[in-house]
C-alpha cells in the first residue's frame, strides 16, 4: 500500500508528479483506476503501461446531481476525455457500458459487474438475527426494510418516507430503517418525524450487522452504476424491492425471484410491488438472492474477470 498523502487541494497541484514518480519506482505491469481524479491522472501519464478504468456511474447525470449543472458538465467532459485515452473503460453494469458507448462514442469499453465480499456479507440463522436486533435496538417482531447508502437526490429517500404512512396502512408491522448520511439528511429527519415506523440512524460502522438483522432491502434510486448496497443486502439473504432503473433491472433480470421492481417515482406501482413481495414465498426469495450472489456477483467472480483483463492487456 502506498499513499500520495495529499488533500484534494494539494492533489490538484502535486498529484500528477508524485504519481509519476511512484509509478517509476514500482514499475507495475498495468494501472487500474477507479473514480474521476484517479482516471484523469492515469490518462495523463505518458508511459505505455496498459491502463484500465472502472466506471461506476452515468457521468452526465451523477456529476450534475452531486455538484450542480455547470461543474457537473465540466467534470463529465474531463472524465470522458480521460477515458478515451485509457486502454479499457470497464462499466460495472451493462447499463453503464451502454451509456459510455451511446452518449460518448467510447469504443474501448468492457463490462465487469460489481461483486460483494461474501465473507463479510453473509446470511445468519434466525436466533442470531434476533440477538442482533436486540443489540442494535431494533424491533424484534417487525418486518425491517433497510435502506443503505447516502441520503441524497440520487437515492431519493424522501420518496420512501412520504409513502411509508400508506405502507403501514397495508401492514403496520413494517419498519423502514435508513443507514447513511447525505445532503438530504435534515429533510429526511424532518419528514420522518411526522411518519410512524421510520428510523434514520445516520452513518454506522457495522453495516453488515444491520443488513443481517433486516428482512428486506429497498431502494428508490434514480441513478446507480450497479449498486453494491443492494448486492450486500442480497448476500445477507434479503429479498429486494427496487426502482426500475436499468442497473436494478439488470440485477432483477438475472434472477427475477430475488424480489420485485416498481416504476420509478410512481406511488401506486411501489405499493403494489411492496404488497406482492410481502405476500410472496420469503424462503424462495431469500435463497434466490443468495444463489445469485454466489454464482454471479461475488467479489471472487469479479476478481477473476479483472485478472483475465490484466493478462489480456499485458500479453
**How many residues in the chain?**
315
**Burial tier of 315 (Cβ tally within 10 Å: 0-12, 13-18, 19+):** exposed
DSSP bridge pairs for 262 = 243
Q: Give yes or no for a contact between 224 and 194, defined as CB atoms under 8 angstroms apart.
A: no
Q: Going residue by residue through the chain (315 aa), what tens digit of pLDDT does each one get?
A: 999 999 988 888 999 999 999 999 999 999 999 999 999 999 998 778 999 999 999 999 889 988 999 999 999 999 999 999 999 999 999 999 999 999 999 999 999 999 999 999 999 999 999 999 999 999 999 999 999 999 999 999 999 999 999 998 888 899 999 999 999 999 999 999 999 999 999 999 999 999 999 999 999 999 999 999 999 999 999 999 999 999 999 999 999 999 999 999 999 999 999 999 999 999 999 999 999 999 999 999 999 999 999 999 998
Burial class (CB in 10 A: 0-12, 13-18, 19+), 12: exposed
Q: 439488470: which residue's cell?
A: 250
Go through 29-67 and write b for each residue having 16 or more CB atoms within 10 A of its CB, e for each that does not.
eebbbeebbbbbbbbebeeebbbbbbbbbbbbbbbbbbe
What residue ranges define each of the domains in the chain, with the CATH number in brackets? Answer: 8-115+300-314 (3.40.50.2000), 126-297 (3.40.50.2000)
Amino acid at each position: 500500500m502506498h499513499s500520495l498523502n495529499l488533500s484534494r487541494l494539494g492533489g490538484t497541484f502535486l498529484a500528477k508528479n508524485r504519481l509519476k514518480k511512484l509509478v517509476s519506482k514500482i514499475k507495475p505491469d498495468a494501472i487500474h483506476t477507479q473514480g474521476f481524479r484517479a482516471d484523469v491522472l492515469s490518462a495523463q501519464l505518458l508511459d505505455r503501461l496498459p491502463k484500465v478504468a472502472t466506471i461506476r456511474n452515468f457521468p452526465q447525470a451523477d456529476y450534475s446531481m452531486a455538484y450542480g449543472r455547470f461543474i457537473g458538465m465540466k467534470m463529465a467532459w474531463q472524465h470522458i476525455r480521460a477515458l478515451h485515452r485509457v486502454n479499457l473503460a470497464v462499466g460495472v453494469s451493462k447499463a453503464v457500458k451502454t451509456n459510455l458507448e451511446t452518449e460518448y462514442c467510447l469504443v474501448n469499453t468492457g463490462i465487469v459487474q460489481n461483486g460483494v465480499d461474501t465473507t463479510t456479507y453473509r446470511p445468519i440463522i434466525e436466533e442470531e438475527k434476533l440477538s442482533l436486533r436486540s443489540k442494535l435496538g431494533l424491533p424484534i417482531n417487525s418486518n425491517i426494510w433497510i435502506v443503505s447508502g447516502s441520503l441524497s437526490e440520487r437515492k431519493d429517500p424522501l420518496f420512501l418516507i412520504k409513502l411509508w404512512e400508506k405502507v403501514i396502512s397495508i401492514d403496520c408491522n413494517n419498519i423502514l430503517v435508513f443507514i447513511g448520511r447525505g445532503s438530504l439528511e435534515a429533510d429526511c429527519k424532518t419528514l420522518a418525524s411526522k411518519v410512524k415506523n421510520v428510523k434514520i440512524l445516520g452513518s454506522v460502522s457495522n453495516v453488515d450487522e444491520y443488513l443481517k438483522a433486516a428482512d428486506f432491502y429497498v431502494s428508490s434510486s434514480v441513478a446507480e452504476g450497479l449498486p453494491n448496497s443492494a448486492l450486500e443486502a442480497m448476500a445477507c439473504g434479503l429479498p429486494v424491492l427496487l426502482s426500475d432503473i436499468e442497473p436494478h433491472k439488470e440485477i432483477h433480470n438475472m434472477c427475477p425471484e430475488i424480489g420485485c421492481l416498481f416504476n420509478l417515482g410512481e406511488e401506486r406501482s411501489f405499493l403494489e410491488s411492496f404488497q406482492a413481495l410481502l405476500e410472496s414465498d420469503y424462503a424462495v426469495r431469500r435463497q434466490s438472492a443468495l444463489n445469485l450472489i454466489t454464482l454471479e456477483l461475488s467479489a471472487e467472480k469479479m476478481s477473476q474477470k479483472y485478472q483475465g483483463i490484466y493478462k489480456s492487456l499485458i500479453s
